[in-house]
Structure 1
Amino acid sequence: MDLVQTVALSAGLAWASGLRLYLVVFLAGVLAHLGYMHLPESLHVLTHPLVMAASGGMALAELVADKVPAFDSLWDSFQTFIRIPAGALLAAFAMGDVDPAWIVAAGLVGGTITAGTHFAKAGSRLAINASPEPFSNWLASFGEEGMVLGGLWAMLASPMVFLGLLAVFLILAGYVIYRLAGLLRRLFGRKAL
């Protein structure tokens, strides 16, 4: 793998982990096992049947949990402690056999990408849950799954295009997080009065 592909793999796994960690681990393992995705030796553990079974089962559980209004936000709150470190580790291990400084840097940047993606997703879903009907929740959930599938495909098909789209996504996620933080400040500011 060349440097652009390696960076795209590292950033892509981190980004997608912020949306659907278990689906990403499952798909990466299955695609690598079938020969459609090249993983560095440090991530070959994802192709182990036990890892694929565990991540597949958790992906199925998340698929259901994420469709239930209010429960999805509870799920996201617990996942904060799982997605972010896992995304950082996936990003770091995706670098393969390189200078340890690159691995640490990839973990730091990857953890930041995962955190930004996760908080934008969780905050958006919290806002969507304010709606009394469940359809917007389901639409958002299926949209997130589609983004993961499309993102992984773009990462494999055209790493440079994926990195460009990732930059746009991260700018939009930063804006969403900024707006949600302002909303929370106003909400809690009013209650304090």
Structure 2
Amino acid sequence: MSVLPLVFTSGWASGINAYAVVLLLGVFGATGLTDEVPAALQRTDVLVVAGVLFLIEAVADKIPYVDSAWDSVHTVVRPLSGAVVAALLAGESGSLPELAAGAVGGSTALMSHLVKAGTRMAVNTSPEPFSNIAVSTAEDLGVAGIITFAMFHPLAAASIAATLLLLGIVILVFLASRIRRFLRRRAQRREEKRIAEAGGHRPPG
């Protein structure tokens, strides 16, 4: 059976929470739930590191503005993780060239990451923190649910992931104005901080 559906799904999920994907796949493989998870993801040190980073992200991802800073740092991490996981999955199954799998996993992770980061910018325009917590929790549960579902129904899970990705892109288009407002506020705060550090005086002309 082709591993492509699992590669696509893991890529989509990695763009949202790469550490959760590594942790879940590793646990599923280590417990014998599936034999499609490569040994590299089942190693104890990998699981421990992924678990610690997942806990850190679970907190950072629910704090307004901290979540967007965290997303900025992970613009490289998530697509890279998606590519590596996809290549490992392909290498384990032998049904898809590793380079092609890495390209699919990495590009899908990048797209879902951009949707996630953009959506968070829009959510951060709201003054209360509860929306961040709700969105973050929904993302965590969604990743856990779809990766688990993919272990038993990879094609159906890939279809759901593709639908969610497309829906996310559409929503992001509608939220574009709120995202621009968020970016303007962030630039304004940086300017105010710079002025404060310079002694509270704007430079002449």
Larger deviation: 71-80 or 82-91?
A: 82-91
Please list every run of 5 or more consecutive structure 2 residues that lacks an aligned counterpart in the other structure: 184-205
User: When the two structures are superposed, what TM-score results if normalisation uses the length of structure 2?
Assistant: 0.81
* 1:59-138 superposed matches below 5 A: 59-96=54-91, 98=94, 102-138=97-133
How far apart are the structure 1 equivalents of 2:131 and 2:87? 35
Q: How many residues align?
A: 184
Match of 1:18 among 15, 25, 34: 15
Secondary structure in 2 matching 1:94: helix
Match of 1:155 among 143, 150, 156: 150
Percent of aligned positions that are identical:
36
Query: Are 1:27 and 2:30 counterparts?
Result: no
How far apart are the structure 2 equivalents of 1:90 and 1:175? 27
Q: Is the 8 A contact 1:76 1:122 kept in 2?
A: yes
Shift of 1:174: 2.7
Shift of 1:37: 2.5
Change (3 A) 1:179 1:91: farther
How far apart are the structure 2 equivalents of 1:114 and 1:166? 11
Change (3 A) 1:104 1:12: same
Q: Is the 8 A contact 1:65 1:71 kept in 2?
A: yes
Shift of 1:182: 6.7
How far apart are the structure 1 equivalents of 2:60 and 2:22? 18
How far apart are the structure 2 equivalents of 1:117 and 1:31? 23
Match of 1:50 among 35, 41, 45: 45
How far apart are the structure 2 equivalents of 1:185 and 1:69? 16
Q: Is the 8 A contact 1:14 1:87 kept in 2?
A: yes
Shift of 1:69: 0.8
How far apart are the structure 2 equivalents of 1:12 and 1:167? 8
Shift of 1:46: 1.0
Structure exhibiting the larger radius of gyration computed from Cα positions: 2
Change (3 A) 1:107 1:177: farther
Shift of 1:178: 3.7
Write the deviation string for residues 132-160 of structure 1: whole angstroms up to 9, x where unpaired.
11111100000000110111122112122
How far apart are the structure 2 equivalents of 1:29 and 1:36? 10
Query: Are 1:37 and 2:30 counterparts?
Result: no
Q: Is the 8 A contact 1:119 1:177 kept in 2?
A: no
Change (3 A) 1:74 1:37: same
* Alignment-mate amino acid for residue 9 of structure 2: G
How far apart are the structure 2 equivalents of 1:85 and 1:60? 20
Shift of 1:177: 4.1
RMSD after superposition: 2.4
* Alignment-mate amino acid for residue 133 of structure 1: E
How far apart are the structure 2 equivalents of 1:139 and 1:22? 19
